[in-house]
Each structure stands twice: as structure tokens, then as C-alpha cells.
Amino acid sequence: MRLQQPFSDDAIRRDQSMEGLRRVVVGSAVGSLLGAAAFFAVDVLISTSAEAVPTHLTCKDTTSTWNSSPYTLFTRQVILDFDTNSATVDGNERHFNVTPAELTIHEQGRNKNGTRTSYIFKVDRSTLKYNHEYEFISSGSKFRSNGQCQITKATTAHKS
């Protein structure tokens, strides 16, 4: 029976190969955890189950202008219902489109006074930053704002 020397070339090669294996195992575990975290973060915004509860966003303005002049900062409550492909912004129903990069909420029509309007609210899906524009088409007046949204789960009471 041959005894192995702890400082022999064979022992060093085994240690190096074990170190390489250790790196692969640790790297795989870290990569798996990062992938799972990304999956669950996106899964919150892309709900596909039949019992899915609508996603509730609270969006706060960081900048706001009315016809290019500084204006009041607002906080909006946005409810996205992926089952019906609809959105509600502060209680108003809007159309809703989803792309890999952003969520777009939009509407064209008339406000309470009969003025033609255009409403666009775009949320970047990776950062949850948003751009919002509301235009009175006949006069050309525009409200613009930018800000940040946060996700909270809506209760089932919000589902229509």
C-alpha cells in the first residue's frame, strides 16, 4: 500500500481540482438564486393564473409641469388587472398594453367638460420609473410628470 504525501504533486492537483469544483458549485448556486429572484420580481408584474389578484402600484411624482411650468406633485393609485388587460388610475378605467420593456396605460376621449384629451402613462418594467402625460388636444395644454412606482398586492376587493 502506497502512502500519499500531503505535499506531493498528486495532492496539490487534487486540491486544485477540488477548488475548481467548489467554484463551479458556488457559482451555480449564486446564479440560481439570482435567476430565481429575477423570476419572482417579474412574476409580480406578469400574473397569469386565473385567480391572480390585480397588481397595485403606488406612483409618486418626482417632477411635474403644466405647460412647462412647475406644478403640484401627485401620488397615483394604479391597479393593473392582467386577466382582463385593463388598468385603473385613481379610479378611472384606462386601456392597458404590456411589452417586455414597459407597461403602457392610455386613453383618448373627452373629459367631463367635453374637451378632447389624450392620456399616456408608461412604466419601465425593470426600474418601475414612469412618465405620464395628459394633453388637452384642442388647446394644446399639457400636464407632464415623472416619478417612481412601488408594488403592493391589491386585495381581492379591488377585483371587478
Rounded to two decimals, the pTM is 0.60
Domain that holds residue 114: 55-158
**What is the percentage of the chain residues whose pLDDT exceeds 90?**
36
In angstroms, the CA 126 to CA 94 distance is 22
Q: Looking at the structure, do residues 59 and 120 belong to the same domain, yes or no?
A: yes
In angstroms, the CA 73 to CA 90 distance is 15
The answer to whether position 67 is within a domain reads yes
Q: Looking at the structure, do residues 60 and 117 belong to the same domain, yes or no?
A: yes
**What's the CA dihedral at 24, 30, 34, 36 to 10 degrees?**
90
The answer to whether position 50 is within a domain reads no
Q: Looking at the structure, do residues 99 and 138 belong to the same domain, yes or no?
A: yes
In angstroms, the CA 44 to CA 34 distance is 16
pLDDT band for position 72 (cuts 50, 70, 90): very high
pLDDT score, position 71: 94
The answer to whether position 35 is within a domain reads yes
Note the pLDDT tens digit of each residue in 23-61: 766 667 667 766 655 555 555 555 444 345 678 999 999
CB atoms within 10 A of CB 55: 20
In angstroms, the CA 80 to CA 102 distance is 13
